[in-house]
Amino acid sequence: MTQLTPPYHDVRQHPLTRGKNPMTIKAINTHLLEQPLARPFESSAMRFSVRRHLLVEIECDNGLDGWGECLGNADINAAIVNAMSPHLIGRSALDIEPIWLELYNQFRDQGQRGATVNAISGIDIALWDLCGKYHNAPIYQLMGGAFRDQVPAYATGGFRQVGVDRISSLLQEVQGFLDAGFRAVKIKIGFGIALDIESIAAVRELIGPDIRLMIDANHGYDAVAAAQVIRLAAPFDIDWFEEPVVPEALGSYRRLRDLNSIPIAGGETWHTRWGIAEALQQGAVDILQPDVGGVGGLSEARKLLTLCDIHGVRCVPHIWGTDIALAAGLHFHAIIPPSPPAFEAESAWLEFDQSDNPMRAVLLKHPIEMIDGMVRIPSGPGLGIEVNRDALSPFYRKP
Ligand code: CA
């Protein structure tokens, strides 16, 4: 057995592939897309007046290309992906784990959490897309097989629209979700306890007892206020309370979870196996919400399933971005084991953002759709999607 010694910048010199040329990376393209919104909207502490996303495209010498997407600030992600590119050129795109480890090793001194890992995530997703295309198989198949071919979707919305009445605009939006066929809805809170409870009560009255309802404070409360929200919101049958407090406050998460009232969810800004392990070891959440585009890509996301299993925590992925991020999230959904491992276990709900995004449903030749509350997992090679290049150009930043 040959002992391999990284790094292998030149795949042609790799002991296992010397002379075989199995799909060498020749270029990494970053596509920074942005579009101002007609009407800004707000979560508890952020205003969205423009949509901005970073797509990562990796081109190989055999003509195949793979696509990924990074969660988080697109400008920062683009800079880091470009800084990482020299480590990818000339390597085999099939060396996904060796590339992950090398990028992390090379850049960990720049940050073991946050933007560095967001950048690796987009690259990792693109490599999995390439791997699937190379083997003519969907990613979930290469990761061990799917537990399901479709997932129930919940509508993410209920942001605060700027300049309009909160309650009436919220109810109008939620009614639209019901009309579209959603059977679960997540609304934003964190705009003051009284208004939040009034919003929750009004939405529950509108949707009736059979539609699921989740609340997301985007860490807009501290532990004292969040505990009060839990006490007042519990009678309205809430599936989970997401990001009640800032993600650093693991002790506060634990205290809220110990109230044993509404299940506590979080994790969209926790990164890698180390960040997630720290949160789970402290008993921070009932429901973990890793984002494939931020937690370290599909390679890292699948490792977290073992951590969730060991700690008795459900995995319900966070998804935010374009249809490329959604496709990556769907492949992750496919491989989440049922919890509990029983016939009657329901699938984790798919986060399907419904807030204003002009890029949604136009970047792919066949957009990802929700039908009767369900979304099918793409079954074509790789991510199973086809990016419509012509649709990208209107969103490139104007000079
Ligand atoms: Ca959230």
Pair (208, 82) in one structural domain = no
Check which CATH number belongs to the domain holding 89 and give it.
3.30.390.10
Cα 268 to averaged position of ligand 1 atoms, centre (Å): 7
Predicted confidence at residue 192, as pLDDT, reads: 97
Average pLDDT value for residue range 211-221: 98
Return phi, psi of residue 4, to 5°.
Answer: -90, 135
89, 112, 137 - which closes a domain: 137
Q: Using alpha carbons, select from 1, 4, 14, 57 the residue that is nearest to residue 32.
A: 57
- Count: domains in the chain: 2
Write b or e for each residue in 276-310: b if 16 or more Cβ atoms lie within 10 A of its Cβ, otherwise e: bbebbeebbbbbbbbbbbbbbbbbbbbebbebbee
233 and 355 housed in the same domain = yes
| pLDDT single digits (tens) 282-324 | 999 999 999 999 999 999 999 999 999 999 999 999 999 999 9
- What's the pLDDT at 280? 98
CA of 326 to the centre of ligand 1 (A): 15
- Does residue 93 belong to any structural domain of this protein? yes
CB half-sphere exposure, 265, CA atoms < 13 A = 25
Short-list 313, 267, 258, CA closest to 292: 267
Look up the CATH number of the domain holding residue 312.
3.20.20.120
Do 114 and 309 form a contact (C-beta atoms < 8 A)?
A: no
What is the reported pLDDT for 378?
A: 98
User: Of the residues 120, 137, 154, which one is the last residue of a structural domain?
Assistant: 137
Same domain? 103 vs 183? no
Q: Pinpoint the alpha helices (H) of 181-271.
A: 193-207, 223-233, 250-257
Split at pLDDT 50, 70, 90, the class of 185 is very high
Residue 314 has a pLDDT of 97
The confidence score (pLDDT) of residue 8 equals 47
- 237 plus 360 within the same structural domain: yes
97 located within any domain: yes
What is the whole-number distance in angstroms between the Cα of residue 197 and the centre of ligand 1? 18
Does pLDDT of 191 surpass 60? yes
Residues 131-145, mean pLDDT to the nearest whole number: 96
- Give me the pLDDT at residue 398, please: 78
| Residue whose pair of structure tokens reads 């066929």 in the numeric block | 181
Q: Which domain holds residue 253?
A: 141-388
- Can you give the pTM of this predicted structure? 0.94
Residues 129 and 179 in one domain: no
Domain co-membership, 185 together with 79:
no
The domain boundary residue, chosen from 137, 170, 193? 137
Assess whether pLDDT exceeds 80 at residue 281.
yes
What is the pLDDT averaged over residues 358-370? 94
Distance 17 CA to ligand 1 centre (A): 43
Domain match, 164 and 267 both: yes
- Position 10 pLDDT exceeds 90: no
Task: Tell whether the model's pLDDT for residue 238 goes beyond 90.
Answer: yes
Residue 380 has which token pair?
């074509």
Contact 295, 301 (CB under 8 A): yes
Which has more pLDDT, 187 or 9? 187
Does residue 114 sit in the same domain as residue 201?
A: no
**Cα 315 to ligand 1 centroid, rounded to whole Å:** 14
Give residue 16's pLDDT: 55
Give the alpha-carbon dihedral of 193, 195, 201, 207, to 10 degrees. -120
Contact (Cβ atoms closer than 8 angstroms) between residue 352 and residue 151: no
Mean pLDDT on 348-372: 95
Whose structure tokens read 């010498």?
A: 61
Q: Are residues 89 and 156 in the same domain?
A: no
Q: Are residues 104 and 152 in the same domain?
A: no
Distance of CA 198 to the CA centre of its chain: 29
Compute the distance from residue 218 Cα to the ligand 1 centre, in Å: 6
Residue 176 tokens read as 């639209």
> Known catalytic residue: 318?
yes
Residue 384 lies in a domain: yes
Active-site annotation holder among 53, 318, 331, 333: 318
CA 336 to chain CA centroid, Å, is 14
What's the 223 CA to ligand 1 centre distance in angstroms? 17
- Contacts of residue 282, defined as CB under 8 A and 6 or more positions apart, other chains included, come to 250, 251, 253, 254
In a domain, 160, yes or no: yes
Is residue 15 classed as helix, strand or coil in its secondary structure?
A: coil
Q: How far is the CA of 14 from the centre of ligand 1 (A)?
A: 42
Three-class secondary structure assignment of 117-153 = HHHHHHHHHHHHHHHHHHHCCEHHHHCCCCCCCEEEE
pLDDT of the residue at 3: 52
Asked, for residue 396, whether it belongs to a domain, the answer is no
- Per-residue pLDDT band for 161 (boundaries 50, 70, 90) equals very high
The Å distance, Cα 4 to ligand 1 centre, comes to 41
Q: Is the pLDDT of residue 1 over 50?
A: no
Q: Are 153 and 40 contained in the same domain?
A: no
Q: Is residue 5 in some structural domain? A: no
Per the CB < 8 A criterion, the answer to whether 316 and 265 are in contact is yes
pLDDT tens, position by position, 194-214: 999 999 999 999 999 999 999
Q: Is the model's pLDDT at 117 over the cut of 90?
A: yes
- Residue 399 included in any domain: no
Q: What is the pLDDT of residue 397?
A: 85
Each residue's pLDDT tens digit, 11-68: 455 555 555 557 999 999 999 999 999 999 999 999 999 999 999 999 999 999 999 9
**How many C-beta atoms surround the C-beta of residue 188 within 10 A?**
24
Question: For residue 357, is it within any domain?
Answer: yes
Q: Rounded to the nearest whole angstrom, what is the distance from the C-alpha of residue 371 to the centroid of ligand 1?
A: 23
Mean pLDDT within 217-239: 98
Question: Residues 369-396: what's their mean pLDDT?
Answer: 97
CB 84 within 8 A of CB 107: yes
Task: Report, as an integer, the average pLDDT of 86-113.
Answer: 95
Percent of the chain scoring above 90 in pLDDT = 91
What's the whole-number average pLDDT of the chain? Answer: 94
The answer on 150 and 130 residing in a single domain is no
- Tell me the CA distances in angstroms from 76 to 30, 89, 135, 292, 320, one per residue in order: 11, 21, 32, 18, 17
Interatomic CA distance for residues 97 and 341, integer angstroms: 28
